[in-house]
Structure 1
């Protein structure tokens, strides 16, 4: 993915008059024609102290840039761009909510007194989005940082879902710079308590929720089905972990053939990226669904996309926890139950296999033995799904 990372990082750090002491790879995010790779770096400053800095390097030739981005060429002459967190060029609002003092100023524009607010990063996908939890003296809010072009649409989706009675967080407002301020959703993520869930009751509630979502009136399309660009995953795998390239290439060809041979259904409103981390349940009775998060990708689309996405997430969650744990065993059984529910539907199978390939790519990108083992298990399940 990144040839001679040490040399690239040394050049980046030296441009600010500092010295690279050590580094470790944190994460990998596939984007467009390349990857965004995160590194936790130890940097020696001018006063001889050591500070930790997170540096992200984007290998895509079409990567965005701004005044905080450094551009350089690697040994092969490829264009690279890099930035230090939180100066993400795709998320210009991120620095403004990454520090308590700055966040207080931003929240005051929404009419919220946030003096002394405490911040915690809940999720960050470089180049795509970030979610920060903001705890004030009396309330809790979530600042969602997205590309500026998406903020208005995300706010509108929350308004429409709530008007239709679908339990999603209340959107307080949005900023044209790419910030959406959301209220708190009651309950806990289903993935955190899945070993306590009655799977039959949960599945029934989930079916009711998806039918409710299908009735929401929206004006935008959902995220494009991953199955439409399955070859992209095969190409990225060849760059990331060539040992899996042949297997992934074969899977991609089968997915393409199966998906293309199925009939396109009438579009309805779907979530667009359904998984157990976004489905909230009652803490006292976790079989009861209390709401759903992250409807950024929602819109008119194919119900098979939500079914395939959920299955893929359940499988990778079971693999990460291992079947020997209570949570892993329950998740593994639920994956089998989900598959039994759509067995014979080649469209769902093709989409589910694509999601498994995507999760395998992320696992292989970790660059360690555990990641490689997980990738192999996920690819084997994709083969089984396709029969």
Structure 2
């Protein structure tokens, strides 16, 4: 079994993993009642991490839990030792119960109102001490063993105050905080830092305005292409001295393999798209412009036509402006589950913005790089185990193919 499944992806996505989950729960003093897979992160031929929604009968009562499991080629890594190690045949796997993620130590505090109140009080984030019952928490995003983001809303006499809490890995924390401060110092509207902790929590104040991800459905354009480009151009030159983050195009083959593993029937089409991207971009320089690195509608806040905030600045660094604009085109080209009216408004935005982007960067490069970003997005429906992930994945691949065909 291990020889045919070196990274554990087959085991972790099959019903066979149930015995492992049951053993892990029993080791912690409970009984596994039921479970289903919630999320899977596969790195073919290297590792797989999956999470499972589980119903557990504990001595104190029945409760829903989130269980995590990691498998690696060659056995557990040093960080896996912070989880429990269980054997499945000759394979050793790391298992944990949320929030005890072995790579996100701060999650244990951030996941509970008492812990979050402790963080806010420790750093005197608000004028008055915060009690746990004042704190409401909502998980915004969780990539097991990578990062988490929670919304913490505190009820105060003056009204609710909202913070966003980034839960980060130790090796990334200092650089992420540095990037926020670097942008804030020159007036780029990144989220202000309210607190940073020794267990790698970055507490950020809420941005003003509305998320562009919602505003794209407004009857009138929420902002202009020129203003989107303008906020990128406002980033300081020092961003170009940061560590380079490879653009999405550098990993297009990697993501192609991931999608093909989930949907073998798309292999021929994906191979063609990838070959066109790679040949069309061969020889292009990496670039040294200050870039955001993951610029899309979910990262931007707008108000009155202006760009008033930019989120997730963890990825800023040197690159090519075309990569940022291509990322925006890719995400807008693959918005899921829209009604007819919403789809028409997004198409109208693309029709208005892309010609402006074309005046700033090479149009062919823009489309090929956008197609590469789309291939990375095609891993999302399977990874998140969406109910109709096969159909949604094919829709995303359609968008990549359409962009490539525009430049042939």
TM norm. shorter chain > 0.5: yes
For 1:189 and 1:385, the matched residues in 2 are separated by 26
User: Is 1:70–2:89 an aligned residue pair?
Assistant: no
User: Is 1:199–2:221 an aligned residue pair?
Assistant: yes
Residue in structure 1 matched with residue 130 of structure 2 by the alignment: 114
Contact 2:146 2:169 in 1 (8 A): yes
Give the counterpart of 2:94 among 63, 75, 81: 81
Change (3 A) 1:23 1:200: closer
1:17-36 counterparts in 2 under 5 A?
Answer: 17-31=29-43, 33-36=46-49
Give the counterpart of 1:280 among 298, 301, 306: 301
How far the C-alpha of 1:12 sits from its partner, in A, is 2.4
Range 77-86 or range 220-229, more displaced = 77-86
Range 170-179 or range 122-131, more displaced = 170-179
Residue in structure 1 matched with residue 368 of structure 2 by the alignment: 350
User: Is 1:100–2:116 an aligned residue pair?
Assistant: no
Change (3 A) 1:67 1:243: same
For 1:382 and 1:191, the matched residues in 2 are separated by 20
Residue in structure 2 matched with residue 292 of structure 1 by the alignment: 310
CA deviation map 1:220-272 (0-9, x unaligned): 134211211222112222333323333323333332222223x2154111111
- CA RMSD in angstroms comes to 2.6
1:332-371 counterparts in 2 under 5 A?
Answer: 332-340=347-355, 341-342=357-358, 345-367=363-385, 370-371=388-389
Change (3 A) 1:271 1:190: same
Residue in structure 2 matched with residue 177 of structure 1 by the alignment: 199
For 1:171 and 1:250, the matched residues in 2 are separated by 45
Contact 2:295 2:328 in 1 (8 A): yes
Listed as ranges, the gaps of 5+ residues in structure 2 are: 1-8
1:1-387 counterparts in 2 under 5 A?
Answer: 1=9, 2=12, 3=14, 4-31=16-43, 33-46=46-59, 49-61=61-73, 65-66=79-80, 68-74=82-88, 77-112=90-125, 113-116=129-132, 117-118=134-135, 119-136=137-154, 137=156, 139-196=161-218, 198-199=220-221, 201-213=223-235, 215=237, 217=239, 219-261=241-283, 263-264=284-285, 266-282=287-303, 285=304, 287-317=305-335, 320-322=336-338, 324-340=339-355, 341-342=357-358, 345-367=363-385, 370-387=388-405
Change (3 A) 1:218 1:381: closer
How far the C-alpha of 1:336 sits from its partner, in A, is 4.5
Number of aligned residue pairs: give it: 378
How far the C-alpha of 1:185 sits from its partner, in A, is 0.8
Change (3 A) 1:330 1:30: farther
CA deviation map 1:43-91 (0-9, x unaligned): 12245x321001122234465635551333546x554322211111111
For 1:271 and 1:383, the matched residues in 2 are separated by 25
Range 169-178 or range 143-152, more displaced = 169-178
**Matched residue SS, 1:274:** coil
**Matched residue SS, 1:23:** strand
For 1:314 and 1:11, the matched residues in 2 are separated by 44
CA deviation map 1:132-172 (0-9, x unaligned): 22233253322211111222222221222112111111113
Q: TM-score, length-normalised on structure 1?
A: 0.88
Contact 2:147 2:168 in 1 (8 A): yes
**Matched residue SS, 1:65:** helix
For 1:22 and 1:171, the matched residues in 2 are separated by 41
Structure 1 stretches of at least 4 aligned residues deviating more than 6 Å after TM superposition: none
**Matched residue SS, 2:334:** helix
**Matched residue SS, 1:10:** helix
Listed as ranges, the gaps of 5+ residues in structure 1 are: none
Change (3 A) 1:239 1:14: farther
Residue in structure 1 matched with residue 4 of structure 2 by the alignment: none
Contact 2:223 2:302 in 1 (8 A): no
**Matched residue SS, 1:28:** strand
